């Protein structure tokens, strides 16, 4: 595994490796930055570099603690953000007639340009995907699904890896109040496996058309239990067994059997 980034602390302490999920086929660092910019309600032309750097490092640390295979480009982007952040807060000394703040501004402008170009490309790809889905009916709205949300959207949004990580962070923050009780976990030696959680989710989906993401993380769930459940969800996505959808950005996530 790459070295750990420790600029910020995460809400989930590191635990021994349980299961490794590779990020191949998932999103990259620009996707994560766009996700965070939207989540923090920032203007892409006016990024709060210190805030976005801290949030970015939290997510990279979380991916590493979950034993996900963090690709090198995530760490390169982390280094870039840290460089821009450090240049923006350090005393400004001219180098070759250009101050450190001007160097940082140039780096930030280059990052914004990359984000805008990537955002344009990604939005175009999403439009093509929607047309393809409508044409082939691969993932059109099933009238039996999300009946309680009927009329909100014609099509649901597929939740990304970073949507799932955000939901997982929220779950852990919500359940943080019960963390002290976990000192008693060692009394019962219960083996929790990804395979077991996959089987559980598949059994639930055999009788239900959809599952609410949060419902898979009850108050009684231990830290290890939550992590293994999350990894099971990622594995089922990788296998093509399920899709995770939202009715809008940052709304509740539903787990649905692949149609």
State residue 101's pLDDT score. Answer: 54
Q: Cβ-count burial of 142 within 10 angstroms (0-12 exposed, 13-18 middle, 19+ buried)?
A: middle
State residue 96's pLDDT score. Answer: 57
State residue 133's pLDDT score. Answer: 58
Neighbour order of strands in the sheet with 253-257: 157-158, 242-246, 253-257, 210-212
State residue 19's pLDDT score. Answer: 60
3-state secondary structure of 170: helix
State residue 18's pLDDT score. Answer: 52
Q: Which residues of 169-188 are buried (b: 16+ CB within 10 A; e: fewer)?
A: bebbeebeeeeeeeeeeeee
Distance CA 205, CA 198 (A): 11
State residue 106's pLDDT score. Answer: 77
Distance CA 26, CA 200 (A): 24
Tokens of 186: 């060692």
Distance CA 199, CA 203 (A): 6
DSSP 180-200: GGGGGGGGS-----HHHHHHH
3-state secondary structure of 107: helix
Fold of 153-259: Arc Repressor Mutant, subunit A (1.10.10)
State residue 227's pLDDT score. Answer: 93
CATH code 1.10.10.580 region(s) in the chain: 153-259
Distance CA 32, CA 28 (A): 7
Tokens of 162: 């970073």
State residue 143's pLDDT score. Answer: 44
State residue 158's pLDDT score. Answer: 85
Tell me the pTM.
0.75
Are 78 and 5 a contacting pair, CB within 8 Å?
Answer: yes
Distance CA 170, CA 175 (A): 9
Local confidence pLDDT in tens for the 259 residues of the chain: 444 444 444 445 444 455 666 655 567 899 999 999 999 999 998 889 999 999 999 999 999 888 887 778 899 999 999 989 888 776 555 555 555 555 557 788 899 999 999 998 888 876 676 666 555 544 444 544 555 544 443 456 888 899 999 999 999 998 877 655 444 444 445 678 999 999 999 999 999 889 999 999 998 888 899 999 999 999 999 889 999 998 877 889 999 998 7
């Amino acid at each position: 595994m790459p070295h750990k980034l420790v600029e910020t602390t995460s809400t989930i302490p590191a635990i021994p490796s349980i299961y490794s999920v590779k990020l191949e086929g998932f999103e990259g660092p620009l996707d994560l930055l766009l996700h965070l910019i939207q989540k923090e309600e920032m203007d892409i032309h006016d990024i709060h570099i210190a805030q976005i750097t801290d949030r970015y490092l939290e997510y990279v640390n979380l991916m590493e603690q979950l034993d996900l295979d963090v690709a090198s480009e995530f760490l390169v982007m982390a280094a870039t953000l840290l460089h821009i952040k450090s240049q923006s807060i350090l005393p400004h000394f001219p180098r070759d007639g250009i101050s450190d703040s001007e160097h940082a501004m140039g780096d930030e402008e280059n990052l914004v340009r990359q984000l805008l170009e990537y955002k344009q490309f990604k939005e175009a790809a999403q439009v093509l995907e929607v047309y393809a889905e409508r044409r082939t009916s691969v993932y059109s709205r099933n009238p039996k699904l999300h009946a309680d949300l009927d009329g909100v959207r014609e099509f649901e949004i597929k939740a990304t890896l970073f949507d799932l990580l955000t939901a997982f962070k929220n779950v852990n923050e919500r359940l943080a109040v019960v963390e002290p009780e976990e000192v008693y976990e060692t009394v019962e030696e219960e083996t929790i496996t990804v395979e077991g959680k996959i089987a559980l989710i598949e059994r639930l989906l055999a009788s239900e058309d959809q599952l609410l993401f949060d419902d898979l993380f009850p108050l009684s769930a231990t830290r290890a239990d939550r992590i293994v459940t999350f990894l099971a969800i990622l594995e089922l996505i990788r296998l093509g067994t399920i899709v995770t959808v939202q009715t809008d950005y940052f709304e509740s996530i539903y787990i649905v059997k692949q149609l």
